[in-house]
Amino acid sequence: MNDEKRDVGQGGSDVLGPTYEAGKPDAPDDWRKKLRSREEMLGYLKTACRYWYSDDWYGSERRKTRA
């Protein structure tokens, strides 16, 4: 399927249809196992989960009172 459709804000968007490999994964992609040490885990929390755990990055609340 290659179907150009209209979206709410921007006009045309291209829907490609299934372009992925067929079949099912044998095991879940447990991304959390990629973080092995406590340092890596804390580092991830401070960057990826900066919304709650970073000292200097609060997204839209960055310029406001700290939570």
Partner 1 sequence: MADEKRKSIDPAVLTLVEKAAADEVMLCWDRLDEQSPQCGYGIAGVCCRNCAMGPCQINPFGDAPQKGVCGVDAETIAARNFLRSIAAGAAAHSDHARAVVEAFIRTADGEIPGFEIKDEQKLLSLAMDLGVSIEGKDTAAVAKEVGKTLREQFGRQDGELAFIAKAPIKRQELWRAQGIVPRGIDREIVECMHRTHIGVDQDYKNLMKQASRTALADGWGGSMIATELQDVLFGNPVPIVGSVNLGILEPDQVNIIVHGHEPLLSEMVVAASRDKELLALAKEKGAAGINIGGICCTANEILMRHGIPVAGNFLQQEVAVVSGAVDAMIVDVQCTLQSLTDVAGCYHTALITTNPKARFFGARHLEFDEANPLVAAREIVTIAVENFPNRKRKVVIPTDNKTDMVAGFSHETINYILGGLFRGSYRPLNDNIINGRIRGIAGVVGCNNAKVTHDEHHVTLVKELIANDVLVLQTGCSAVACAKEGLLVPEAATRYAGPGLAEVCEAVGMPPVLHMGSCVDNSRILMAATAVVKEGGLGDDISDLPCAGAAPEWMSEKALSIGHYFVASGIFTVFGVTWPTLGAKHLTEYLFSGIEEELGGKWAFETDPVKTARLMIDHIDQKRHKLGIDKARERVLYDMEKRRELET
Find, among 23, 26, 7, the residue nearest to 15 by Cα. 7
Shortest Cβ 67–partner 1 spacing (Å): 5
For residue 66, which of 50, 42, 47 has the smallest C-alpha distance? 50
CB of residue 48 to partner 1, shortest distance in Å: 3
Contact call for residues 13 and 7 (beta carbons, < 8 A) = yes
User: C-beta of 22: minimal distance to partner 1 in Å?
Assistant: 10
**Maximum distance among all alpha carbons in the chain?**
49
Binding site for partner 1 (CB under 8 A): 1, 3, 5-11, 13-20, 24-25, 28-32, 34-35, 38, 41-42, 44-45, 47-49, 51-53, 58-62, 64-65, 67
